[in-house]
Structure 1
Amino acid sequence: MSTTTSHTPSESEGHPEGTADPGGRPARLIQNEVTTEIPVHLLFRDDPDPVNPVKVPLKPAVVTRRQGAGEQPCARRPAPVRGRPLPEVDPELTERPARVLPGAAGVLAGVSGVTGCVATSWWAGLLPPLAVEALRLPSYAGAGFGPAQWAAYTGAGMLGAFGFGGLARGRTGRAWVLGLFGRYRGTVRRTGLLWVNPLLPRRRVDVRLRHWRSEAMPAADPDGMALRVVVLVVWRVRDTARALLGIEDHETYLRECVEAALARVPVEPAGGKRGGVTAAGDALTRLVAAETAPVGVEVFSVQPVRVEYAPEVAAAMHRRRIARLDARQRASMLSSVVDSVEDTVTRLTVRGLVELDDYERKVLVRDLTVAFCSGRGEPS
């Protein structure tokens, strides 16, 4: 039966700070320290009470500094600064088909305009006699150009100009981006003879699958060594409105995105242990495709086709590569020599051809190793 002595505030009121309690308890060193006693039987309980279980909500512990203890609050680590996301292109700037007519409508309008001009000239009496006879028109003296003739002539001329001036030939893999007073009016991807409003300015864009072989661009390998990399980019224009109107020059933007991706993705030369140019090409493709998608450019592949070390480190890396190959060859040759010596000694002893003690075995192993190494080291 154990007895627990509790400490009450009345017992410590008469003792000044820094002195010991008559009961043997040490004095409090911190003025505002608060001591809470826990019954002994609660410290050694293994199983919870099945009748009246006590549920204690778990809350994250908040550590604060104690007053008068001289402790300073821990400074919170600032959150890492991430790069700002790419700006969004105008959501209303999305490719949509423009309103065009078949080429037959333009031809019909043009022929009608020319016919109207000829008829107006005959009405005014300005048509030459040879043309009258060729067209089998009745002779008519005419009264010259009056207001009615001028109006008819102007209308027929405008109709012919609009009819023939709007004719265009759509080609496979090419498209026109139309605009009016600075506003996007649509894209024409149709092929064949078409009639497009001649008042709408046109900008031709190539929408075929294209490839671009870059010049040598700076890059780095996983160890930070400077490289010169030539990449092959396969791409095409997916959204003509965003590619031509949402950005100044989509080809220049693609080139700069590839340069920026090479600065962030390490490129390992062929034969590396981290995937080589294949892994680097996959990472470059994902990165460049994500950056060019908002401007209407679709990237299918960004693959390094030539990886070379920069001129300032090329000589040192060449010597390191030669030394690595030499060490690898030496290790493989030594492994093969050891296997050959072991096989030879094992066969001689197992078949009973020789009986060797430890000293003779060591001598035989040494002689065989020297013989095999000298034989493998001779140039073929």
Structure 2
Amino acid sequence: MSTTTSHPPEPEGPPEGSFRPIRLIHNESTTEIPVHLLFRDDPDPAPVTLRPAVVSRRQGTGEQPRLRRPAPARARPVPEADPGLVERPGRALPGLAGVLAGVSGVAGCAAASWWAGVLPAAAVEALGLPSAAAGAGLGPAQWAAYAGAGAFGLFGFGGLARGSTGRAWVLGLFGRYRGTVRRTGLLWVNPLLRRRRVDVRLRHWRSEPMPAADAGGVALRVVVLVVWRVRDTARAALGVEDHETYLRECVEAALARVPVEPPGGPRGGLEAAGDALTRMVGEDAAPVGLEVFSVQPVRVEYAPEVAAAIHRRRIAVLDAQQRASMLTSVVDSVEDTVTRLTMRGLVELDDYERKVLVRDLTVAFCSGRGEPAS
């Protein structure tokens, strides 16, 4: 008798050489780890860097994507007006050269008049000039002499300039920068050059009330004192249309970015705000040749639209503080009075009489505290 054992049919699998483990979750991505790395006989195996099993998120797994916070936008620095626009010394001669040139031109005109015979006889005799050439008349040669001598004189006198301490001349020729003259005294500058006077002294500017805000966003009006000067005359005069207006707008922009302590706040807060304003305004004004030393708030007040509300809130706070202080004082006084009466045996009170006495004393003390002092 033979016994036949039946075996269950083996599941069909992938062909040999292409076996892959069955995944429990079909929508995840895994990394295979070699088996021989897990059963090594080396007592001190070298560290092996393995990647995490799940390397990416698949749809349907319930995994939430990680949101990256966007990097805060940084203010772009103010570009320089012109990298090649830098202050350099301009050409200027002593004023004596211009005076001599002008006098020479006047002398040349007098000589041309004597040559043409139009110089008065009294002047000829006073100057001791010979009268041999008198009466030659105004011909082309005489007119040419007049033109040359007059142009020479005008060129000499027209180039005279007075340099003052704390002021500089910015020179330009047909729109091109030709240098800056910081010398003082009587100078001679080419009259064909355009001269623009720039104040290079240390200056201060007290602003009108400007809009600002505190750390909580409450609107304020701030008056600032700015101490500054022109460091590079070429950039200040040519790199921007009006450097004073530009400085004022830089202060307004800085006040919009820096929170200012409200009235009655700590003094250190105003100093910190002043340091931040000085740094910001200095960075914005440097590309146009301005040097800012200090930007300090000198007066801080609430804006008109919030001043009334802030005033009412302060009055309410002060009133609440005063009421709390008065109530505490009244309670202490009532307690002290009742304690002394009972401890000294002056009165014997039950609970009801004690409550009535406390009430009457509280009313009396509150009425006395509420009366105005005469």
Scaled by the length of structure 1, the TM-score of the pair is: 0.72
Determine which of 266, 270, 283 is the counterpart of 2:276. 283
CA contact (8 A) 2:31 2:54 kept: no
Distance in 2, Cα, partners of 1:185 & 1:164: 21
Matched, 1:108 2:100: yes
Distance in 2, Cα, partners of 1:237 & 1:73: 54
Q: Counterpart amino acid of 2:76?
A: R
**Structure 2: where are the runs of 5+ without partners?**
1-9, 14-21, 337-343, 345-364
1:328 CA displacement: 6.4
Q: Counterpart amino acid of 1:89?
A: A
Q: Which residue of 2 aligns with 1:135?
A: 127
1:133 CA displacement: 1.0
Matched, 1:181 2:196: no
Q: Per-residue displacement from partner, 1:194-231 (whole Å, max 9, x unpaired)? A: 10111111112222222222222111111111111122
CA 1:117/1:376 → structure 2, altered by over 3 Å: closer, same or farther? Answer: same
Q: Per-residue displacement from partner, 1:120-171 (whole Å, max 9, x unpaired)? A: 2212222110100111112224322344333333222111111111111111
Q: Which residue of 1 aligns with 2:246?
A: 253
SS state at 1:275 partner: helix
SS state at 2:149 partner: helix
**Structure 1: where are the runs of 5+ without partners?**
1-13, 18-26, 43-48, 339-343, 345-353, 355-371
CA contact (8 A) 2:220 2:262 kept: no
1:1-380 equivalence runs, <5 A: 28-31=23-26, 52=44, 54-56=46-48, 63-65=55-57, 74=66, 76-142=68-134, 143-273=136-266, 275-325=268-318
Distance in 2, Cα, partners of 1:299 & 1:146: 63
Q: Counterpart amino acid of 1:220?
A: A
SS state at 1:140 partner: coil
CA contact (8 A) 1:122 1:140 kept: no
Distance in 2, Cα, partners of 1:78 & 1:257: 28
Distance in 1, Cα, partners of 2:12 & 2:369: 92
RMSD of Structure 2 on Structure 1 (CA): 4.3
Q: How many residues align?
A: 339
CA 1:301/1:197 → structure 2, altered by over 3 Å: closer, same or farther? Answer: same
1:374 CA displacement: 11
Scaled by the length of structure 2, the TM-score of the pair is: 0.74
1:377 CA displacement: 9.0
Distance in 2, Cα, partners of 1:325 & 1:146: 98
CA contact (8 A) 1:64 1:73 kept: no
CA 1:373/1:274 → structure 2, altered by over 3 Å: closer, same or farther? Answer: farther
CA contact (8 A) 1:269 1:276 kept: no
